[in-house]
Copies of this chain bind each other. A is one copy, B any other.
Amino acid sequence: MNVTIKDVAKRANVAPSTVSRVIADSPRISEKTKRKVREAMKELGYHPNFIARSLASQTAQVIGIVMPSSAEQALQHPFFPEVIRGISKAAHEKKFALQMSTGEKEEEIYEEVVEMLQGRRVDGVILLYSRVNDKLMKYLLRHDFPFVVIGKPHQRAEQITHVDNDNYRIGKETTQYLLGLGHERVAFIGGNETYLVTADRLLGYKEALEEAGLIYRPEYVVYEEFLQKANQEEMKKLFSLDEPPTALVVVDDLLALDVLKLLDELNLRVPDDISLVSFNNTLLADMARPPLTSVDIHIFQLGYEAAKNLIEKVANPNEPVKRIIIPHKLVKRFSCDYV
């Protein structure tokens, strides 16, 4: 079979435990012995067996990535690869491996993650979503498994380490930017209504209007699902209002592309006829025509911080709960103009 610690021990004329200590670079082993052992490892082409190590040490050095229901769908959205990039970076730095959930439905994912953790395959998980009343989150909390959520937990946020943006402020500032350009009829195009991000940004949007002395019009708020061509009804309704908006706050780049397309069909030109600012500042924003003014929420950093903090928590279970707010930044391009 394979070269094991015992083979190395024999070759180096030491005990297996000594080899183990050399692997861990224990300070209690003499340099001379270390050299000898390392040489033996080289000669034999030894590679430590992670699995055996995991079993003995009760730690996997692996973190799990939990996608929202339907990993399959999620990956269609540029947000996810980008968070994963950040996670990957941090994991790599700390020498942790990455495991991804593959489940498609909520219940499946729940089972899968439970097995991951109970099966000791991963030391902790990062939830890439924050859903209302999430069964999995409760389970993690109850069993005291290390986890971090990206976004704001709906319940017990103060007990859960999470990495988020200040979505209220984002919504507010973005709206204010548009108001500052002279727009008074600003509409809000949200994604899925049940996500907290949307709700928070909407709150900021309302606040900005109020502070500016403008009234909030419910008919100016539209929820369009991402990645769906079909239900553009709401959007069309928006533009057949007596007083259609002159500016749009669109909650996501991908959605913004959809919107752009629709506006094109309606013969509305951006930014001449209508201004638009979107969020996330993914590659899409830059590649759209016109290039979109977009709020960079630093997705990569969201992932990076999530992984970093999860790993800290795994290493030290007493690590206090943290709430990490990643700064955002409005990136101006060419989709906004004075009214």
Contacts and interface: CB of A to CB of B under 8 A. Distances in A.
Interface of chain A, main secondary structure: helix
Contacts of A62: 99, 121
A332 interface: no
A98 interface: yes
Interface string A277-297: 000000110010100000000
A325 interface: no
B81 A92 contact: no
Contact of A75 (B81, B118, B120, B257): B81
B115 A47 contact: yes
Contacts of A91: 102
Interface stretch (A49-57, A179-187, A209-217): A49-57
Tell me the number of copies of this protein: 2
Interface string A145-189: 000000000000000000000000000000000000000000000
Nearest to A253: B287
Contacts of A310: none
A76 interface: yes
A50 B100 contact: no
Interface string A32-51: 00000000000000011111
Interface of A: 2, 47-52, 54-55, 60, 62, 71-72, 75-76, 78, 80-82, 84-85, 88-89, 91-92, 97-100, 102-104, 114-116, 118-121, 227, 254, 257-258, 260-261, 264, 283-284, 287, 289
Given A76-B81, A261-B287, 8 more contacts: A51-B54, A51-B120, A75-B82, A80-B81, A84-B100, A88-B100, A97-B99, A289-B289
